[in-house]
Amino acid sequence: MTVLDDNIIKAREYMATFREGGVLNHIAGESVPCLTGETMDTLSPVDGSVLAQVAKSGAKDVDHAVAAAKAAFPAWSTTPGTERRKILIRVAEAIEARAEEIAFIECMDTGQALRFMSKAALRGAANFRFFADQAPAAEDGRVMRSPTQMNTTSRRPIGPVGIITPWNTPFMLSTWKIAPALAAGCTVVHKPAEFSPMTAKKLVEIAEEAGLPKGVLNVVNGLGETAGKRLTEHPDIRAIAFVGESRTGSMIMRQGADTLKRVHFELGGKNPVIVFDDADLDRAVDAATFMIYSLNGERCTSSSRLLVQDTIHDDFTARVAEVAKRIKVGHPLDPETVVGPLIHPVHERKVLSYFDKARQEGATIAAGGEKIGEAGCFVAPTLFTGATNDMAIAQEEIFGPVLTAIRFRDEDEALALANDVDYGLAAYLWTQDLDRAIRMTDRLEAGMMWVNSENIRHLPTPFGGVKASGIGRDGGDWSFDFYMETVNVSFPRAHHKIPKLGG
Ligand code: NAD
């Protein structure tokens, strides 16, 4: 038996409860079907088979979950930060203990390769540990003294919050939102993506087994336009943290307007990796290919536009094409696999449509550009060359293992090309010239930039985008600014003169 065969058997065991009982909602500590009993399928990206039936919730299910989060809020928000810390550390430990189970389920539900998902489960635990450690000081503020007053600020958890997540790396992403919300003292209703609901349910079960009180974290499955919409409109939900497409973000902003929702958006990207001819090209090839072909290219910070100086363009893109052609595409549970199947036939159709667009627009397909096999959503790692920045393949987020290369002459042109998109999430810059790096990073329109590096996250740093890529920042204390309200209390420092009116 191969390692893959062994892994497939294990994954079946890990998913047995979902296969037999479905992926239910989790409200006030109980696993419950939705009120109508309706379900939807979650499919295997490997062969399109049905992995499990998922609760297809409506507005009333969301209302129940919000009521549970509201009921749990007074106790959780007043639980001392030191106590919340202990509970959340236990959650982190429980995630670590079940990392393999989480990773295997995630691979089967999303098609992401095990070599990346095993780390993603541990990153989820790291998110819990990091924010747990911040919990004791989360409500701390500042003292500001004027001549007459002493002002003290402090922070309070904003209330029950809604968290809406996408399907690309759902476990890691959800913990990135849920952990700071819980550390801040908020209670949560989580609406996972309909394409990949399994690990959200695992997370709440693991968290409650580790001691998280019932009702503090609730999960409602269902479609975005019904369950998700109701969550964004619910008057008892104080804020919505959303990760997903830019146009969904716009919808959520409209839906939340009547109840004046605070929103935090992590949206799409079309991130440039800019390579100058003075760069360490070996490292640049590795980083550029890693950032587009890892995680199936279904990654908001993927380096999906390769801007290369014309002096090195042909050699550099030839090297990238070589890497793309050598990448192993295969079953997500095969430890050798780099690119697994895309999440769903709907998404696969979208990605494949860009192969046609590239041909119509006159770009060259230097690698890939085709579906692999009949069964499952397997797509070859792809490189387009000869593209110009006005093409759809250069402007639109494809969200697959698909890279569009564009040549530039000099710094000004590189900058103009990099900034000439709606998005502004991340940018990657390769040059040995420090002055140029400073000039470029000063003017690049992106929320996050990495110089001579792939995306390496450090949890205390701010994460988020500009332009159509988002509103707000996560990470470090920025997360608490979102999940908490800052209040100011002013005391007199002396008997100052109060204006007398009316006499
Ligand atoms: P999506 O916007 O289609 O869906 C995301 C979530 O929103 C799902 O749970 C969905 O059910 C829900 N939703 C859809 N319509 C809704 C509505 N009207 N009201 C409330 N909720 C609604 O995104 P996706 O296709 O699942 O994910 C891919 C996108 O996510 C890409 O654009 C990617 O760049 C983005 N993303 C961004 C980041 C980041 O940090 N910036 C990270 C990962 C993914």
CATH number for region 3-267+469-487: 3.40.605.10
What single letter denotes the amino acid at residue 291? M
Compute the distance from residue 267 Cα to the ligand 1 centre, in Å.
7
Q: What is the pLDDT of residues 244-258, one digit of tens each?
A: 999 999 999 999 999
Among protein residues, the one with the nearest Cα to ligand 1's atom 30 is 244
- At 503 the pLDDT is 77
CA atoms of 96 and 189, how far apart (whole Å): 23
What is the distance, to the nearest Å, from the Cα of residue 49 to the centroid of all Cα atoms in its chain?
Answer: 26
Among protein residues, the one with the nearest Cα to ligand 1's atom 43 is 300
Looking at every residue in the chain, the average pLDDT score rounds to 97
Residue 226's CB is within 10 A of a number of other CB atoms, namely 15
Q: What are phi and psi of 183, to 5 degrees?
A: -65, -35
CA atoms of 205 and 24, how far apart (whole Å): 11
Compute the distance from residue 389 Cα to the ligand 1 centre, in Å.
25
How long, in residues, is the chain?
503
Q: Any idea which architecture 272-451 has in CATH?
A: 3-Layer(aba) Sandwich (3.40)
Among protein residues, the one with the nearest Cα to ligand 1's atom 13 is 224
Among protein residues, the one with the nearest Cα to ligand 1's atom 40 is 266
- Ligand 1 atom nearest to CA at 248: 2
Compute the distance from residue 179 Cα to the ligand 1 centre, in Å.
19
CA atoms of 180 and 130, how far apart (whole Å): 9
- At 496 the pLDDT is 87
Testing ligand 1's pocket by substitution, the residue of 164, 233, 463 carrying the most ligand atoms inside 8 A of its CB is 164
The one catalytic residue in 139, 233, 266, 397 is 266
CA atoms of 498 and 357, how far apart (whole Å): 71
Going from the C-alpha of 337 to that of each of 115, 300, 403, 440, the distances in angstroms are 7, 21, 19, 36
- At 376 the pLDDT is 95
Testing ligand 1's pocket by substitution, the residue of 259, 300, 422 carrying the most ligand atoms inside 8 A of its CB is 300
Alpha-carbon Rg of the chain, whole angstroms? 24
417: helix, coil or strand?
A: helix
Compute the distance from residue 496 Cα to the ligand 1 centre, in Å.
54
Among protein residues, the one with the nearest Cα to ligand 1's atom 12 is 224
Spell out which residues line ligand 1, taking CB within 6 angstroms: 164-168, 173, 191, 193-194, 224-225, 228-229, 232, 243-245, 248, 251-252, 255, 266-269, 300, 397, 399, 425, 465, 470
Local structure of residue 499 (DSSP, 8 states):
P
Residue 102, both tokens: 């989480």
CB half-sphere exposure, 362, CA atoms < 13 A: 5
- Ligand 1 atom nearest to CA at 223: 11
Testing ligand 1's pocket by substitution, the residue of 243, 266, 421 carrying the most ligand atoms inside 8 A of its CB is 243
- Ligand 1 atom nearest to CA at 166: 26
Compute the distance from residue 245 Cα to the ligand 1 centre, in Å.
4
- Ligand 1 atom nearest to CA at 249: 2
The phi-psi region of residue 457 (left if phi > 0; otherwise alpha if psi is between -120 and 50; otherwise beta) is beta
- Ligand 1 atom nearest to CA at 193: 9
- At 369 the pLDDT is 97
Residues of the chain with confidence (pLDDT) below 70: none
Any catalytic annotation for residue 101?
Answer: no
Longest dimension (CA), the chain: 95
Q: Name every residue whose Cβ is closer than 8 Å to that of residue 453 and which is 6 or more positions away in sequence.
A: 287, 428
- Ligand 1 atom nearest to CA at 252: 19
Residue ranges, CATH 3.40.309.10, the chain: 272-451
